[in-house]
Amino acid sequence: MRSEMKLAAVAAIAVLGSTMAAQAQSMVAPVVTSGMYQPGYSAWDGFYVGAQGSLVATKTHEIGGVVGVEQLLGDIGGNAGVFAGYRYTINDWFVLGIDAEANNVATEYLWNAVNYGAIKWDAAVRATLGYPVAPNVLAYGTVGYSWAHFDLSPGYGNPDAKYTAGGFQLGLGVDMMVTSNVMARLNATWTHYGVNTVPVVGGGTSEPSDVVVRAGLAWKF
């Protein structure tokens, strides 16, 4: 009788132990491997293309030529253009991208109350580094290079007084996903185009720069 009771007790203990072990195992968090979990960082990843309008505040430091020793000429105009780019989300903190644009520019430098020249077009390519301040809002900084075509023929009275120059560009901006495919943007850049010699006989030097504020809409693929 005692041996039967001992066997029953041992069996009960074994059953209880296995039950407790199974419960303890179920309470342990599952091991997550890189192959099992991929974060959903798809809000900004991919290509986009859009159109924009801009306000352009530009100035040019002219020395020699028809202006004499030195003149600082300025203008506020506008432009319209297109842009495109690609972004890739690294993690919760950073979104890398590349962005490019091309614009038709309307400006007019004035010297002695007459038209001296203008920027005719510009284009740029830049790298972007963004931080998602909200699930659908990205704040970012940019660094890149811009090209612009300057026409000073009205001031020089010479159709050859034109040149294309390039310069480094810095900027800040914010983009917002209005829907899963429609993106709105607002950004600003500063560009310096260096010192350039006007390519005519007796031409002076021209040192233009500008600040551009852009607003645009894009389609994200």
Q: CA-to-CA distance for 113 and 189, rounded, in angstroms?
A: 28
29: left (phi over 0), alpha (psi -120 to 50) or beta: beta
Q: What tokens does 137 get?
A: 């809002």
Residue type, 149: H
> Which of the four pLDDT bands, split at 50, 70 and 90, describes residue 11?
very low
Pairing of strands 182-192, 205-220: antiparallel
Q: Which amino acid is at 169?
A: Q
Give the pLDDT confidence of 16-52 residue by residue, as tens digits. 455 544 454 444 444 444 443 344 456 899 999 999 9
- Show the tokens assigned to 97: 């991208």
State the burial class of residue 42 (Cβ atoms within 10 Å of its Cβ: 0-12, 13-18, 19+): exposed
Torsion angle defined by CA atoms of residues 25, 29, 30 and 33, in that order, rounded to the nearest 10 degrees: -150
CA–CA dist 63, 202 (Å, integer):
11
For 82, residues 6+ apart whose C-beta sits below 8 A from its C-beta are 49, 50, 51, 52, 101, 102, 103
Q: Report pTM.
A: 0.78
Report the C-alpha gap between 160 and 110 in whole angstroms: 19
- Both tokens of 151, joined, read 């026409």
**What token pair was written down for 47?**
């290509």
Residue 107 CA to residue 116 CA, distance in Å, equals 11
| Contact (Cβ atoms closer than 8 angstroms) between residue 128 and residue 142 | yes
Structural domains of the chain ordered from first start: 46-220 (2.40.160.20)
List the single range of 14-18, 49-53, 164-168, 203-207 with lowest mean pLDDT.
Answer: 14-18
Q: What is the pLDDT of residues 65-109, one digit of tens each?
A: 999 999 999 999 999 999 999 999 998 899 999 999 999 999 999
CA dihedral for 57, 63, 65, 66, sign (positive or negative):
positive
pLDDT digits (tens, 9 = 90+) for 100-140: 999 999 999 999 889 999 999 999 999 999 999 999 999 99
